[in-house]
Amino acid sequence: MNSGMKVGAVIITMGNRPDELRALLDSVAKQDGDRVEVVVVGNGSPVPDVPEGVRTIELPENLGIPGGRNVGIEAFGPSGRDVDVLLFLDDDGLLAHHDTAELCRQAFEADPELGIISFRIADPETGETQRRHVPRLRAADPMRSSRVTTFLGGANAVRTQVLAEVGGLPDEFFYAHEETDLAWRALDAGWMIDYRSDMVLFHPTTAPSRHAVYHRMVARNRVWLARRNLPALLVPVYLGVWLLLTLLRKPSRPALRAWFGGFKEGWTSPCGPRRSMKWRTVWRLTRLGRPPVI
């Protein structure tokens, strides 16, 4: 039974995957229940041909992942208020089932505290889910749904009331950790986040390091994330732990050089507004299995 909640979808594209984009749009069009209105944002590139009824926005320059998605949000009115829920989907993904939008409606309707849902990402050929795509420390069983402390950027659903209360994604980040920044602000405002293994986005298995700027952005944005959100006492602890983890992973010399360059940049460049989370939010994160020191 349709809950009546209006669902929209934001997809950003560089225009270089027209076949995958069309397949994704087809999978959204086949969703059960009321029609999901879709906005495709060309992030510094033209938008390939899309089906009739799909809105498009072409940006003159690449604003990065959070910047592009924020433009898509505003296409649904301030903070997306024209709909109740927004799906954020990678343009080379594919909704595996026809009931994902309806499951989102039901989940948000049933739980007034639920603010964000993270979908399970699975390889379309093997059905396997990479460990890094399970947004919790205990990631061995991707089929187990649970409360979590962050979400996957290209496979999720957000209640637009969350965006109205805490703001959108941090434009400054461009790429990496923007989801955790929004997740921490949402949790600090009292919202909860669920990982749902039954809501599946098919996506080819990839390595995040395929992006040339990966190591620098990951390090810089990690520092910005801490500076923006953590109580002052936890900032050096959090960043010290991540420095140690990075060294233990033994990256290549060029990768490590890029990482330290980004780490330095994170301390010396503006990170946007600081809103230190409450200590009760620190405790909430800890109870959910991921204290904000790792």
Cβ distance 105 to 5 under 8 Å? yes
User: What pLDDT, on a 0 to 100 scale, did the predictor assign at position 205?
Assistant: 87
Looking at the chain, the whole-number percentage of residues with pLDDT higher than 90 is: 95
pTM here? 0.96
Please determine, for residue 207, whether its predicted confidence score (pLDDT) is greater than 60: yes
Average pLDDT over residues 175-194: 98
pLDDT digits (tens, 9 = 90+) for 263-283: 999 999 999 999 999 999 999
User: What pLDDT, on a 0 to 100 scale, did the predictor assign at position 209?
Assistant: 57
Burial of 40 by CB count in 10 Å (0-12 exposed, 13-18 middle, 19+ buried)?
A: buried
* Strand pairing category for 155-159 and 114-122: antiparallel
pLDDT digits (tens, 9 = 90+) for 88-143: 999 999 999 999 999 999 999 999 999 999 999 999 999 999 999 999 999 999 99
Average pLDDT over residues 223-230: 98
User: What pLDDT, on a 0 to 100 scale, did the predictor assign at position 38?
Assistant: 98
State the number of CA atoms in the 13 A half-sphere of 81 facing the CB: 6
Looking at the chain, the whole-number percentage of residues with pLDDT higher than 70 is: 97
Buried/exposed 193-216: b ≥16 CB within 10 Å, e otherwise: bbbbbebbbbbeeeeeeeeeebbb
User: What pLDDT, on a 0 to 100 scale, did the predictor assign at position 32?
Assistant: 98
User: What pLDDT, on a 0 to 100 scale, did the predictor assign at position 4?
Assistant: 87
Q: How high is the mean pLDDT of the chain?
A: 96
User: What pLDDT, on a 0 to 100 scale, did the predictor assign at position 199?
Assistant: 98
Average pLDDT over residues 76-85: 98
The neighbouring-strand residues paired with 118 are 156, 195
